[in-house]
Amino acid sequence: MSVTAALQKRHEQAIPRGVATKSIYAGRAENAELWDVSGRRYIDFAAGIAVLNTGHRHPDVVAAVTEQMNAFTHTCFHVAPYESYIRLAERLNALTPGDFAKKTMLVTTGAEAVENAVKVARSATGRSAIIAFGGAFHGRTMMGMALTGKVTPYKKGFGPFPAEVFHAPYPKPYHGFSTEQAIAGLRQLFLNDVDPGRVAAIIVEPVQGEGGFYIAPFEFLKEIRKVCDEHGILMIADEIQTGFARTGRMFAVEHAGVVPDLITMAKGLAGGFPLAALTGRAEIMDAAAPGGLGGTYGGSPIGIAAANAVLDIVERDNLCARAESIGARMQERLEAIAKSNTMSGIGEVRSLGAMVAVEFVTDRETREPDAALTSAVIARAQEKGLILLSCGVNANIVRLLAPLTIPDAQLDEGLDILEQSLREVVKH
């Protein structure tokens, strides 16, 4: 029995089936490459689901974490606070959009950041309702699932969920659903389901992650801001997957010139270490009473050391520009592939910076989703040494999330494997 097969057997016996995984058991990794326990090499176009914008084991991150480990690993910020937490909060306050006083709290996961955004919004407004969008993903906690607009696998069988969460439609121009229709649907909620005077916040992903890498039209984000201002509602930007240079800006809402009241962050913040953040207007963040926010592990010194190193890398190496370059290179190559006569299953290629998606369809005219083709392409690519992920409510979209530090040669190698996989799958 191979090492991988033995691990798979132990895995099945020890871990719940609800914890879904691939069959790649990691042995080591470096930047955009990963080797499994058998020594097989992969190009990583998943990056830990957009966590490793600075690649696996960036030497600056490793050095910063090592230095922190030699000082202390945990005190609990509530018991004995530390300067590095303050410094990272100051940096995030300065980096996030908005020319006003801000404050930041640090937590451990993206779902935790979302939970605290809801708590802060309710405390600051005295209102209870929250509006999210169809296709959204905001985490696997109970509130995160309530906000999430994708039933399978995230919500199925886990209800009931927290009350006073409503879903409005998200624009999908490729499927003929415009900004105007989406905003009309949002306003219809105010007529049919919830008084806007009861709404504490609207939470939106500038690019939907699990929902299919649909890019919110910039006018849509501007209209949400207008609706929020009109009704005294707070705007929460969920930048957990889009943040920290992934889309060619530090935060994706910057493309639209929109300034949210609160921003949730995680994934790319700390280069592979568990850390998340909530940043917002100072007066809003101060609404909760002392002790109302926090947690034992919130703001891990190790994660903070990594995050401060990540922010240095993003700035020094101009990873925003690098994301634009990677995205353009992927888009050009994938569009060229899509023009081939045999590639009619590629419905659309879309990207915002290095957040790139290929949507597979059974027919370009009807645009019916093709989950089977998507699954086959991902499986064949894995056989050839490329790690890919799917997304979308119909599981028919491949998302490409290469580290922003990937060398051009490895980027091209990954795209070559993807093209080969597509052509082989289509032939069969």
Per-residue pLDDT of the chain (428 residues; tens, 9 = 90+): 899 999 999 999 999 999 999 999 999 999 999 999 999 999 999 999 999 999 999 999 999 999 999 999 999 999 999 999 999 999 999 999 999 999 999 999 999 999 999 999 999 999 999 999 999 999 999 999 999 999 989 999 998 999 999 999 999 999 999 999 999 999 999 999 999 999 999 999 999 999 999 999 999 999 999 999 999 999 999 999 999 999 999 999 999 999 999 999 999 999 999 999 999 999 999 999 999 999 999 999 999 999 999 999 999 999 999 999 999 999 999 999 999 878 889 999 999 999 999 999 999 999 999 999 999 999 999 999 999 999 999 999 999 999 999 999 999 999 999 999 999 998 75
CATH of residue 159's domain is: 3.40.640.10
Number of domains in the chain: 2
Does 268 lie in the same domain as 151? yes
Does residue 267 sit in the same domain as residue 196? yes
Q: For 337-349, give one letter per residue: b (16+ CB within 10 A) or e.
A: bbeeeebebbbbb
The predicted pLDDT at position 399 comes to 97
3-state secondary structure of 242: coil
Query: Are 300 and 353 found together in one domain?
Result: no
Integer CA distances (angstroms), 238 to 24, 209, 342, in order: 29, 10, 38
Give residue 227's identity as a one-letter amino acid code. V
**Residues 208 and 122 placed together within one structural domain of the fold:** yes
Quick one: tokens of 385? 């040494």
CB neighbour list of residue 250: distance below 8 Å, 6 or more residues apart: 95, 96, 243, 244, 314, 320
Domain final position from 316, 346, 364: 316
**Phi/psi of residue 243, nearest 5 degrees:** -80, 170
Instruction: For residues 63 and 66, give the distance between their C-alpha atoms in angstroms, rounded to a whole number.
Output: 5
The pTM for the full model equals 0.96
Judge if 100 and 161 occupy the same domain. Answer: yes
What pLDDT was estimated at residue 283?
Answer: 98
Interatomic CA distance for residues 286 and 279, integer angstroms: 11
Is the same domain home to 164 and 177? yes
Q: Are residues 18 and 112 located together in one domain of the fold?
A: no
| CB-based contact 362:376 (threshold 8 Å) | no
Q: Are residues 151 and 272 both part of a single domain? A: yes
Q: Indicate whether 342 and 420 sit together in one domain.
A: yes
Shared domain for 173 and 230, answered yes or no, is yes
For residues 206 and 274, membership in a common domain is answered with yes
208 and 219 fall within a common domain: yes
Q: Which of 276, 297, 316 is the last residue of a domain?
A: 316
Q: The domain spanning residue 364 has which CATH number?
A: 3.90.1150.10
Residue at a domain's end among 273, 297, 316: 316
Structural domain range at position 325:
3-57+318-427
